[in-house]
Chains A and B, each alone.
Chain A
């Protein structure tokens, strides 16, 4: 079983739609949870991170973590064409040095 499972998409939605992106994980040692966004030919950039179960909101973005189910989600409200990118879920652990594990990424296309 992979440590992180993420649907690669692609996911295509019209402008203004609510987008839901999801990941599952298997390692209970993970300590913090993140979502990164990666535009073509660029490195990933951090969108959100959290340590605990529950929701965390930042503008149009909401991250949801359910540690009991080992499931995290990212919701994007009022999606824009500029949101078109690959979204990577990620987990962190400290096992003799911090290590971040990434999902494979979901490609999102928002059509104008």
Chain B
């Protein structure tokens, strides 16, 4: 059984650019959630996808968008990058969407300069 894998592990982008982060869910999981974790803070919920549909969203602007594919892998897209978007982006997969079933990936460290 494989865990959650995220790519890339590190990324540096310039303010105003767009970025796509990728996540492969753990085998058997059909729900994916994305979190943003700033340095020294807890993860902040961005959104969740269940069976390719957005199934809940946190307080993030529309320039944060996502996709879930039929194989349950997922992408997080961020447009018009701002310096404050610099953070660790975590993907978590689960079977039911409930938080106690999450398996997290190791994250993508995004730096916006």
Contacts and interface: CB of A to CB of B under 8 A. Distances in A.
Interface stretch (B13-21, B62-70, B79-87, B103-111): B103-111
Interface residues of A, number: 28
A49 B100 contact: yes
Contacts, number: 76
Interface residues of B, number: 29
A99 B58 contact: yes
A43 B50 contact: no
Interface in A85-103: 88, 90-92, 94-103
Contact of A97 (B43, B44, B50): B50
Nearest to A31: B98
A102 B56 contact: no
B7 to A, nearest CB: 14
Q: Is the interface of A mostly helix, strand, loop or mixed?
A: strand
A99 B42 contact: no
B2 interface: no
A90 B99 contact: yes
A34 interface: yes
Contacts of A41: 106
Given A43-B90, A43-B92, A95-B56, A100 B102 contact: yes
B100 A34 contact: yes
Nearest to B109: A41
A56 B56 CA distance: 29
A88 B43 CA distance: 9
Contacts of A49: 99-100
Interface of A: 4, 6, 8, 32, 34, 41-46, 49, 88, 90-92, 94-105
5 contacts: A34-B99, A42-B106, A43-B90, A94-B98, A102-B35
